[in-house]
Amino acid sequence: MRTTTSLRAAALAFGTLTAALSTAPAFAQAPPPIGHWATQGSVEELYVFSNGSCGFYFKKQLRVSGRCSWNSSSRGGILTITYPMPLQPGHVRYNCVYLTRTTMSVFGDVFHKVG
């Protein structure tokens, strides 16, 4: 009798824990900004390719290019472009926040997805 009661109590505790964990909110992670993004008038342009390469242009001149990585959050993320330097690789980090599926803010500048 005592063993049956202990098993029922354990099963109830396990069921309650399982239900609590399954109803915990899941936070979605924002996808990387793959594609061509530009500000109004294409003053600033950001190219992010699915093969992991990126480039940032200012007034049609390449400012930085290299390999990218994406550290996502629920509304955007940090896009890091790693580029070669003589002693060690350089890193430029862009704070990207999605406003809509085709619009994002990068350090306050509004970029629109092109094409």
| pTM summary value | 0.75
Q: Say yes or no to pLDDT of 3 above 80.
A: no
First-to-last alpha carbon distance for the chain, in angstroms, is: 71
Give the model's pLDDT for residue 56.
98
What are 66's strand-pairing partners? 54
**DSSP, res 23:** T
The per-residue pLDDT for range 24-67, each reduced to its tens digit, is: 455 679 999 999 999 999 999 999 999 999 999 999 999 999 99
Say how far apart CA 43 and CA 54 lie, in whole Å: 17
Domains and CATH numbers, the chain: 35-114 (2.40.128.290)
